[in-house]
């Protein structure tokens, strides 16, 4: 009798275990399907010139398709544009976000901080297309033209809440003794923040920044209103500029260029994957 009960429990346990495994596999299927599709279709296009040459004209692409050759050119204009806009956005968003996060962590009980915290949540939930149209009104219209600057403003706004949150959360889980020990040595709040708290929180903050980058690198909608796109490699920040996600959208709309979609998608995916792995690695390294 007793034996039978134990057997029943063991069977239940096995059953649960298999059930959980099955469901976990089910959730992983879309991920692997996406990775597989993008890898298989995009792999052919990856070549040195794909990264170094700008987008071909539709005419050139058409000729190549007619001749049965691979489409010439690549996505260099998009990669450069993405990097320029991301770079500018990071330079502004990281210090601002960290300072705001530090403020929220230190003054979490004040009404103003609670208000800012609430706004941060709201900003995080704001659809990117709305951030795009707002940036259009704020930046593109006064500057009388689409530009890399406008694009980076939109990306910066999207990154801010993520950086603020990760900074705040990381600072809050630091032991209070760390801050008290710093203050007990006679440091003022600013110095203790800069020399003790922020360095101790570096791992979490850096991970937050990397995740923020990987979050906005694929944003298309806000760039349509701001960066517009450009078919050649350009470094000017006050002119329209291209970006990889914008290129994917352009390729989709041009029957002659559709072949290039997968290469560009693969590049984006790999980049995001790399950032995620890097952030995992750093978080692990820092926690040791």
Partner 1 sequence: MESVTPMLEFKKTCISYTKQTMAVKYVSAAIEKNTITAIMGPSGCGKSTLLRAVNLMHNLYPNIRVDGEILLNGENILAMEPIDVRRRVGMVFQRPAPFPTMSIYDNVLSGFALNGIKLSKAEKDAIVEHRLRSVSLWDEVKDVLNKKGTFLSGGQQQRLCIARALAMKPDVLLMDEPTSALDPIATKHIEELLLELQKEVTILIVTHNMGQAKRISSKSMFMYLGELVEYGDTEKLFTNPVDERTKAYLTGKMG
What's the closest the beta carbon of residue 175 comes to partner 1, in angstroms? 7
Note whether 285 binds partner 1 by CB under 8 A: no
Least separation in angstroms between residue 285's CB and partner 1 is: 13
Least distance from C-beta 139 to partner 1, angstroms?
38
Residue tagged 């993405």 (tokens): 82
| Residue placing its CB nearer to partner 1 in the complex, 3 or 177 | 177
Residues 55/58/64/68 CA torsion (nearest 10 deg):
110
Of 230, 267, 260, 254, the residue nearest 81 (C-alpha):
230
Residue numbers 166-205 binding partner 1 by CB under 8 A: 175, 177-178, 180-188, 191-192, 195-196, 199-200, 202
Comparing CB distances to partner 1, the nearer of 2 and 188 is 188
Give the 3-state secondary structure of residue 228. strand
Nearer to partner 1, 174 or 221 (CB): 174
CB 210, min distance to partner 1, A: 19
- Contact indicator for 104, 160 with CB cutoff of 8 Å: no
List helix spans (H) across 107-236. 111-125, 128-135, 141-143, 148-173, 176-184, 189-192, 198-200, 202-216, 221-226
Give 25 or 108: the residue with its C-beta nearer to partner 1: 108
Between residues 162 and 201, which has the closer beta carbon with respect to partner 1? 201
Given its phi and psi angles, is residue 76 left (phi above 0), alpha (psi -120 to 50 degrees) or beta? alpha
- Give the shortest CB-53-to-partner 1 separation in angstroms: 44
What is the CB neighbour count within 10 angstroms for residue 273?
A: 12
Residue with tokens 């984006």: 268
Measured from the CB atom, is 170 or 242 closer to partner 1?
170
- Inter-residue contact 228 to 143 (CB < 8 Å): no
Quick one: 68 or 186, whose CB is closer to partner 1? 186
Nearest in space to 207 (alpha carbons), one of 178, 176, 170:
170
Minimal distance in Å, beta carbon 182 to partner 1? 6
* DSSP annotation of 194: I
Size of the site for partner 1 (CB under 8 A): 19
Cβ(84)–Cβ(235) below 8 Å = yes
The residue count for the chain: 288
Tell me the closest approach of the beta carbon of residue 177 to partner 1, in angstroms. 4
Which 3 state secondary structure label does DSSP give 241? strand
Binding mask of the shown chain, residues 212 to 231, with x at each position contacting partner 1 by CB under 8 A: --------------------
Residues that bind partner 1 (CB under 8 A): 175, 177-178, 180-188, 191-192, 195-196, 199-200, 202
């Amino acid at each position: 009798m007793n034996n039978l009960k134990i057997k029943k429990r063991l069977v239940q346990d096995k059953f649960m275990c298999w059930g959980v495994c099955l469901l976990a596999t089910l959730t992983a299927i879309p991920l692997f399907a996406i990775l597989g599709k993008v890898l298989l279709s995009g792999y052919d296009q990856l070549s040195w010139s794909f990264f170094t040459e700008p987008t071909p004209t539709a005419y050139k692409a058409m000729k190549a398709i007619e001749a049965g050759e691979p489409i010439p050119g690549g996505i260099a204009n998009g990669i450069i544009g993405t990097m320029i806009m991301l770079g500018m956005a990071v330079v502004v968003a990281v210090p601002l976000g960290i300072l705001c996060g530090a403020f929220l962590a230190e003054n979490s009980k004040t009404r103003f901080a609670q208000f800012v915290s609430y706004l941060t949540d709201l900003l995080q939930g704001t659809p990117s297309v709305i951030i795009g149209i707002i940036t259009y009104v704020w930046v593109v219209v006064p500057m009388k033209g689409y530009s890399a600057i406008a694009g980076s403003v939109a990306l910066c706004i999207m990154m801010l809440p993520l950086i603020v949150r990760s900074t705040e959360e990381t600072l809050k889980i630091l032991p209070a003794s760390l801050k008290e020990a710093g203050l007990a040595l006679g440091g003022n709040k600013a110095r203790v923040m800069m020399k003790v708290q922020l360095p101790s929180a570096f791992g979490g903050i850096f991970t937050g920044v990397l995740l923020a980058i990987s979050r906005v690198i694929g944003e298309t909608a806000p760039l349509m209103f701001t960066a517009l796109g450009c078919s050649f490699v350009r470094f000017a920040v006050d002119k329209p500029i291209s970006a990889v996600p914008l290129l994917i959208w352009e390729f989709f709309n041009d029957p002659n260029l559709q072949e290039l979609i997968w290469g560009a998608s693969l590049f984006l995916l790999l980049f995001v994957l790399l950032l995620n792995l890097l952030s995992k690695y750093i978080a692990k390294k820092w926690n040791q």
